[in-house]
Structure 1
Amino acid sequence: MTENTHTPAEGIEPSHRPMPTVRQITTNDVVDALAAGIRDFRKAPVYGLVIGAFYAVGGLLIILTASALGMTYLSYPLAAGFALIGPFAAVGLYEVSRRQEIGAPLSWSAILGTMWDQKGRELSWMAFVVLFVQIMWMYQVRLLLAVFMGFQSFASFGEFVSEIFGTPEGLMFLAIGHVVGAILSVVLFSLTVISFPLLLEQDRDFITAMITSVKAVVTSPVPMIGWAAIVTVTLILSIAPGFLGLIVTLPVLGHTTWHLYRKCVEPEHAA
């Protein structure tokens, strides 16, 4: 369907390829990447809007499912956890930015074809990493609920919110839950921020991709954690109005992440 443009650099044996070279970046690089991300979105808005809308609908379905099953108290953690799988939705956005970068034509067959091709590649293994963190996230929510709130049930989401903000136990649950959630988010961010675009462009194993991603964060902790904070705040604000904000913000974040990857990792050249 589409040309294969995601192969190892010619002349380099996969088993003997060196680790990707990570550059140190600054806050200005993050600002430049954000500007480039907005520019990519404006050049090809239809792809971003459709992918963002698909993701927003997915979030709404998750919350509606929780309500239908009588587990409205899980709506907030489910919404937060759903944001963790954003990189998968962004794969198509990375491809849009990559094609704009090299002057390749844009079409739905090319974008969707690239996304479909990832099902049998290393990026699929990243699904297990994200899923594991998602399970840990939900498990710690249930555990903390049992510790601080007991095994009581809530008739509605409003009753759950009243209990959380109106009792010392609820406030403690909220505080510790957010601390644990922040730690899990930083871990997942470090493992995935560079690995997803790296796996899309280069024929690497997912372990190498995760190591490179963590190295990028460790090499430039201030700008990278700053970017993580921007992503977190943006997603929270986008989820608040019924996930509708994601229709615009997700594409911009996705395109920006591609350009941030470009600034963090040296291009792979033929030997």
Structure 2
Amino acid sequence: MSQQIDTGTAAEGPVFPTVREVDAGAPLRWIGRGIGDLRACPIPSLFFGFCFAAMGLLVTMVFEHAYEYTAAMTSGFLLLGPFLAMGLYELSRQREQGRACALLPALAVWRRNAGNIGIFAIVLGVIFLVWARASLVIFALFYTNELPNLSGFLNQLVAFENLEFLLVYFGVGLMFACIVFAASVISVPLMLDRDQDAITSMLASIAALARNPGAMLVWASIIVILTLIGFLSFHLGLVVLMPVVGHASWHAYRDLVAPAADTSSPAPTR
């Protein structure tokens, strides 16, 4: 039996979303539905996938001989992912409503709730800048090897050289990633779907994480693994994997938040 959090009131104005409890296997179903959306909307979905891949390649090319910047920018790729995937959320929403998948409306979807999406983007941007600065400080304090190019740096990581640096870098990075993940699991889809304000959307996202720690751990692990596969495949994997993750994130929102018209409905199990 699924359980819910319902903190909405009868007062006028937007009510706090009802957060539902899902099982730990739900993320696998979200990925399956994401693959279904990609198959149903291949051209617009792959357009966004190519954009993700192009961004990854650009970062690598520009900072090829300054790997400390590449590491920060690549990590920031994950931090800014929820904002960059808005068009994929809209494509899933179009299909859900029985409409044809259209790229142009997906590109302009941010206009639906521009003010609050802008606030959320600023929050993510600030976190990204703080992380980028923290990344450089960690390199300065803990990285003791000779400064190689990017490929040499990756070889050192694989060989577990400079273990103290690795522990500190990934520990601090994990902290930033957890903050962003908690605030963004369902926040952008919620703002797009219901014109919800940014603060309420982020609080609802944190509530979803608190209510479903097992499912969210599985979901975060899937996102990280698929993203790593995308980068390790010379960014080509991002063309397909990022659209799947983006579409799946929309279905995660649908499972985790009860419909506005029916706050008593249980979480879907399909």
Alignment TM class, shorter chain as reference: 0.7 to 0.9
Question: In the TM superposition, what is the alpha-carbon distance from 1:14 to its structure 2 partner?
Answer: 9.4
Say yes or no: does 1:145 pair with 2:142: no
- Cα shift at 1:161: 4.8
List gaps (5 residues or longer) in structure 2. 1-8, 264-270
- Pick 1 or 2: higher relative contact order, CA cutoff 8 A, min separation 6: 1
CA distance in 2, matches of 1:41, 1:162: 34
* Percent identity between the two aligned chains: 29
Alignment pair present for 1:87 and 2:82: yes
1:196 positional shift:
0.9
1:183 aligns with 2:188: no
Return the TM-score normalized by structure 2: 0.85
Pick the aligned partner of 1:215 from 193, 201, 207: 207
1:165 & 1:245 partners in 2: Cα distance?
20
Work out whether 1:59 is the aligned partner of 2:53: no
How far residue 164 of structure 1 moved from its aligned partner, in angstroms, is 6.1
Aligned to 2:268: none
Number of residues paired by the alignment?
A: 255
User: Alignment partner for residue 20 of structure 1, among 17, 22, 41?
Assistant: 17
Q: Which moved more, 1:46-55 or 1:154-163?
A: 154-163
Question: Is the alpha carbon distance of 1:132 and 1:266 closer, same or farther for their aligned partners in structure 2, counting shifts above 3 Å?
Answer: same
Q: Find the counterpart in structure 2 of residue 238 from structure 1.
A: 230
> For the residues of structure 1 that align with 2:222 and 2:213, how far apart are their CA atoms?
14
* SS of equivalent residue, structure 2 residue 80: helix
CA displacement 1:18-51 (0-9 Å, x = unmatched): 2001001112322222211111111111111110
| Aligned positions of 1:1-271 closer than 5 A | 16-67=13-64, 70-115=65-110, 117=111, 120-149=114-143, 154=147, 156-161=149-154, 170-269=162-261
Cα RMSD, aligned residues only: 2.5
Distance in structure 2 (CA, Å) of the matches to 1:148 and 1:165: 17
Partner of 1:4: none
Question: For 2:154 and 2:26, how far apart are their aligned partners in 1?
Answer: 40
| SS of residue matched to 1:27 | coil
Amino acid at match of 1:127: A
Contact 1:51 1:247 in 2 (8 A): yes
TM-score, normalised by the number of residues in structure 1:
0.85
Q: Which has the higher helix share?
A: 1
In 2: Cα distance, 1:107 partner to 1:14 partner: 37
Q: Sort the Cα spacing of 1:14 and 1:77 in 2 relative to 1 into closer, same or farther, 3 A.
A: farther
CA distance 1:219–1:162, shift in 2 (3 Å): closer
1:110 shift after superposition: 2.2
Say if 1:73 and 1:156, in contact at 8 Å, map to a contact too. no
Give the distance between the partners of 1:13 and 1:127, measured in 2 at CA. Answer: 30
User: In structure 1, what is the equivalent of residue 3 of structure 2?
Assistant: none
**Contact 2:79–2:177 (CA under 8 A) maintained in structure 1:** yes
Which one-letter code corresponds to 1:52 in the other structure?
G
Cα separation, 1, equivalents of 2:159 and 2:225: 25
**Change in CA separation of 1:221 and 1:162 when aligned onto 2, cut-off 3 Å:** closer
Structure 1 residue ranges without an equivalent (≥5): 1-11
